Amino acid sequence: MSVDVAVIGGGMAGLVAARTAARAGARVVVLEAASTVGGLVGAHRVAGLDLDAGAESFATRGGHVAALAAELDLPVVTPRSAPARVLHSGRLHPLPATGVLGIPTDLDAPGLVDLLGAGGLARAREDLTLPVQPATAELTLAELVTSRMGPAVLDALVRPIVRGVHSAEPEQIGADALLPGIAGRMASTGSLTEALRQVRAAAPAGSAVAGIDGGVHRLPAALAADATARGAHLRTETPVRDLRRTGGAWQLAGDGWELTARQVVLACPPHTWSFLSDGLPSLAEAGRAWPAPQTADLLTLVLRAGVLPEHERAGTLVAEPGQGAKALTYASAKWDWVARAAGTSREVLRLSYAGGILTGDNLLEFGLRDAARLTGSPGPWPAAAVEGLARTSLHPPAPAWATSSARKPVQMAAGALDGLHLTGAWWCGTGLAAVTAHAANLSQSLTS
């Protein structure tokens, strides 16, 4: 078999690249080792409900995902407006509605003094009068927040958001990585508070995130169907065993199959690159230095609403997760489509855990305990409330801050190979907005 483009990896990046190339008339094959496509965007059935088993939303910035959904006739929906909270020192507090990464831009916001304490709030207000010092390129988000507003803002507000959203500590991420141009804004406005007010004012109106009616998992299914309809071949349970450049073309081989391709798109992360060892040793060596993916667990609960004690139907981040959940998403309160599917008699919750906390014999205990704790329930939740429970183990790529030193060797090794291209969350950054835009642009360049 001979194709124009062989895509190794059937996650979101691979599917977008394949569909884009197929739309341009290229002969395309997607080779996916797993039994399903979609990668971190998947589905599962819990108590008869088809729910997202991975990503449940996407950033609206750039409009890339919404445009893709429109092309695939998938309705884009926005979450219901609901308060978000943080569990700090054993108490639930509202998150400031006008914050950026948890950093408050309104220091008179209701409840802020209860969360930070009088001393913590007074220290945060010092940001308004402290002189702005020249920022270094190495300044971390933790250093920025602590120097301007103090440790209370960092620990009670910023840390739980960075942990929950970016799976990292504020000490590990550069300030400019999450707040591009923040040093210049501070220099012109005189404070972090005013700089972030500018950021909020410049943001487009509307929700910063959106979803798909029926679940984000509909995206990879629709992409796969559309790519196939345009002539692309999607092969699951088809691991690549060897890849090499021979006579001006790419030779790929697996268990009982071989094919030739003019272009190859590596849409799978480096920890899966064992098939490069013989044919492309330089790229294989560079890939071995790439940081390993992270581990995380998602616990989905479908509960009988009438059996539950009184509680608040709101999402919660945890400032000090310890051995418990780091976040709770109240899916049936957040999304209309989940509420419709669940009906009035059931609730759907998602609990997020760092890897290694959940074990096979404690799922029910952990889920009920953390759901009660993170919703402010006055008592434990009974096991009789559970209609369905499912655990999903996820392996998101290492964050950008952890891959900076490994990036150049991979880029150089891949760049030396004609017709080999890189895409995927591991390479262009996590989040559907980044992944879909990068993969589409790359694929367009292959067929232009």
Distance CA 355, CA 340 (A): 31
Same domain as 121, residue 36 = no
| Tens-digit pLDDT profile for residues 133-163 | 887 767 999 999 999 999 999 999 999 998 8
Same domain as 191, residue 110 = yes
Rg for the chain (alpha carbons), in Å? 23
Same domain as 315, residue 286 = no
Same domain as 385, residue 320 = yes
Which pLDDT value is given to residue 201? 83
Same domain as 284, residue 429 = yes
In the block, tokens 């790229």 appear at: 283
Same domain as 245, residue 100 = no
pLDDT of 118 > 70? The answer is yes
Q: Which of 350, 365, 394 is the last residue of a domain?
A: 394
Which pLDDT value is given to residue 378? 81
328 by Cβ neighbours in 10 Å (0-12 / 13-18 / 19+) ranks as buried
Whether 60 maps to a domain, the answer reads: no
Q: Which residue has the higher pLDDT, 262 or 447?
A: 262
pLDDT of 202 > 80? The answer is no
Whether 342 maps to a domain, the answer reads: yes
> What's the whole-number mean pLDDT along residues 338-344?
97
Q: How many helices (H) and strands (E) does the chain have?
A: 17, 19
Same domain as 154, residue 112 = yes
Whether 86 maps to a domain, the answer reads: no
**Average pLDDT of the chain to the nearest whole number:** 92
Same domain as 38, residue 14 = yes
Q: Which residue has the higher pLDDT, 404 or 417?
A: 417
Distance CA 120, CA 151 (A): 8
Q: Which tokens sit at 16?
A: 């977008």
| SS3 category, 360 | coil
DSSP 108-153: T-TTHHHHHHHHHHHHHHGGGTSPPPPPPTT-BHHHHHHHHH-HHH
Q: Which of 356, 375, 394 is the last residue of a domain?
A: 394
Distance CA 153, CA 121 (A): 8
The proportion of the chain whose per-residue pLDDT surpasses 70, expressed as a percent, equals 99
**In 320-431, which ranges are continuous DSSP H helix?**
331-334, 336-342, 363-374, 400-415, 425-428
Whether 424 maps to a domain, the answer reads: yes
Could you tell me if 395 and 268 are in contact, meaning their C-beta atoms sit under 8 angstroms apart? Answer: no
Same domain as 264, residue 409 = yes
pLDDT of 87 > 70? The answer is yes
Q: Provide the CATH number for the domain around residue 196.
A: 1.10.3110.10
Same domain as 334, residue 273 = no
Could you tell me if 82 and 90 are in contact, meaning their C-beta atoms sit under 8 angstroms apart? Answer: no
When pLDDT is cut at 50, 70 and 90, the band that residue 205 belongs to is low
Q: Which tokens sit at 396?
A: 């998101």
Distance CA 276, CA 71 (A): 35
Q: Which of 353, 377, 394 is the last residue of a domain?
A: 394
Whether 277 maps to a domain, the answer reads: yes
Distance CA 51, CA 348 (A): 9
Distance CA 364, CA 300 (A): 10
Which pLDDT value is given to residue 351? 96
Name which of 157, 79, 56, 19 is nearest 431 in CA terms. 56
Q: How many domains does the chain have?
A: 3
> What's the whole-number mean pLDDT along residues 222-236?
98
**Residue 75 per-residue DSSP state:** -
Same domain as 423, residue 390 = no
Q: Provide the CATH number for the domain around residue 372.
A: 3.30.70
Q: Provide the CATH number for the domain around residue 10.
A: 3.50.50.60
Whether 151 maps to a domain, the answer reads: yes
Whether 211 maps to a domain, the answer reads: no
Instruction: Report the relative pairing of strands 420-422 and 257-266 from DSSP bridges.
Output: parallel
Whether 53 maps to a domain, the answer reads: no
* Domain residue limits at 270: 2-42+217-292+398-447
| SS3 category, 43 | strand
Same domain as 404, residue 269 = yes
Q: Which residue has the higher pLDDT, 212 or 200?
A: 212
| Tens-digit pLDDT profile for residues 278-332 | 899 999 999 999 999 999 999 999 999 988 888 888 899 998 878 899 999 999 9
